């Protein structure tokens, strides 16, 4: 364990790769994928991908992918430590992304260090809502309400949603998650009041409800909101269990019951875009119907992170519920956009690239912990300045408006 005084860039650690994986990594050029891997490299998994592709079962275009330096990354998932589970190979170094690099692509600042084992940290990073996206939602909500509020964060994970609302001046009052190590991360950076356990556990549910009602009464002079993204593995298009037989897909019902009991001024629900297509849209309609039964005003957004000055292509579904009839909220305005030949809107700046996000971090090898290394350069882009705490999220976003 490193002495805290030796840590300069927390979690700048890269996973160890096998000899075969290293051979694969060396064979994939920037923007390339499994199609660039020579037949001479033995891999049953790649053989299966080739067979599946030949049968017309999908291109698997991001598998074994290497990032392009002038583009945002693809979605960071919880397996960014493996070359074959997405587009996770560094744009110029022969390794997969470090945990800090993945965290940056998610918009967690360098000062935000994660607790737990390598696997636990990967999960916290990969499952998080980008804090910078949450910040822009919170800012939009503040303008709508006319004041900043307080919030409870359910299914909090490391605190992507919570951090964004905190950046926007909202007060975190309580967080809950089933994983204690995730709450350890949350408590260190956002708020120490946490309760570990599942919302589906009646004892935990009642405890959280009682705490929430108490917090609501103590803060009656300000908006009181609930944030929550129930575990998304069952809904995710990357998962193996896209059906309502997955118990995790019923946690939204517990979330709904919680809102019904606590009666907040509003709530924010977040999940993966795969929710929209499950059972040809029937599952999303079920989710909306559940929340419509407990609030009079409900609306939905599908937001793409690359449109919000975040260096990652990440599509997520949001539902926003209000306790008052006739309330609605416009989605945050776009700040950036992908370059598809030419810009679709000349007034919107190009999306943030992985090079803009990562180029100041020191080079490392696979299986290396670079947390004690110095930055390679000073912060040379606005995004790097944000990540290193040299500018605030508000100042960063203002540059794009």
Half-sphere exposure of 222 (CA within 13 A, CB side): 15
Give percent helix, percent strand, percent coil of the chain, each to the nearest 5.
40, 15, 45
| CA 172/CA 151 separation, integer angstroms | 5
Q: What is the DSSP letter of 375?
A: P
Catalytic site includes residue 87: no
Long-range contacts of 219-224 (CB under 8 A, 24+ apart): 219/149, 219/150, 219/171, 219/173, 222/147, 222/148, 222/149, 222/150, 222/171, 223/145, 223/147, 223/148, 223/149, 223/150, 223/265, 223/266, 224/149, 224/150, 224/151, 224/264, 224/265
Residue whose tokens read 């019951």: 257
CA-to-CA separations, 258 to 203, 263, 299, 301, in angstroms, rounded: 13, 8, 19, 22
Residue among 14, 87, 150, 232 flagged as catalytic = 232
The catalytic site residues sit at 232
């Amino acid at each position: 364990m490193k002495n805290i005084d030796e840590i300069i860039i927390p979690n700048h650690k890269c996973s160890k790769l096998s000899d075969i994986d290293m051979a694969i990594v060396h064979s994939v050029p920037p923007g390339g994928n499994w199609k660039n891997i020579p037949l001479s490299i033995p891999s049953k998994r790649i053989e299966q991908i080739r067979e599946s592709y030949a049968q017309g079962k999908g291109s698997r275009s991001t598998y074994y992918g290497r990032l392009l330096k002038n583009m945002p990354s693809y979605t960071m998932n919880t397996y960014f430590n493996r070359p074959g589970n997405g587009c996770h190979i560094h744009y110029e170094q022969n390794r997969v992304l470090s945990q800090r690099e993945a965290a940056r692509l998610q918009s967690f600042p360098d000062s935000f260090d994660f607790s737990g084992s390598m696997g636990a940290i990967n999960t916290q990073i990969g499952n998080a809502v980008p804090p910078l996206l949450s910040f822009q939602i919170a800012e939009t909500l503040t303008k709508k309400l006319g004041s900043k509020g307080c919030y409870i964060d359910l299914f909090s994970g490391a605190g992507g949603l919570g951090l964004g609302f905190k950046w926007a001046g909202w007060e975190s009052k309580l967080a809950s998650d089933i994983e204690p190590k995730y709450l350890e991360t949350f408590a260190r950076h956002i708020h120490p009041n946490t309760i570990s356990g599942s919302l589906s556990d009646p004892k935990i549910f009642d405890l959280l409800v009682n705490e929430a009602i108490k917090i609501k009464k103590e803060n009656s002079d300000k908006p009181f909101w609930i944030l929550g993204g129930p575990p998304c593995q069952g809904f995710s298009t990357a998962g193996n269990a896209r059906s309502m037989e997955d118990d995790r897909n019923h946690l939204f019902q517990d979330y709904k019951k919680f809102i019904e009991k606590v009666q907040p001024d509003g709530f924010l629900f977040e999940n993966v875009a795969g929710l929209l297509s499950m059972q040809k849209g029937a599952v999303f309609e079920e989710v909306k119907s559940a929340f419509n039964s407990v609030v009079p005003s409900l609306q939905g957004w599908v937001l793409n992170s690359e449109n919000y000055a975040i260096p990652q292509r990440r599509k997520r579904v949001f539902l926003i519920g209000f306790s008052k009839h006739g309330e609605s909220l416009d989605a945050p305005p776009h700040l950036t956009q992908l370059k598809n030949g030419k810009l679709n809107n000349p007034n919107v700046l190009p999306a943030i690239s992985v090079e803009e996000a990562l180029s100041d971090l020191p080079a490392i090898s696979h299986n290396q912990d670079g947390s004690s290394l110095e930055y390679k350069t000073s912060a040379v882009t606005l995004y790097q300045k944000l990540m290193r705490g040299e500018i605030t999220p508000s100042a960063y976003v203002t540059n794009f408006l």
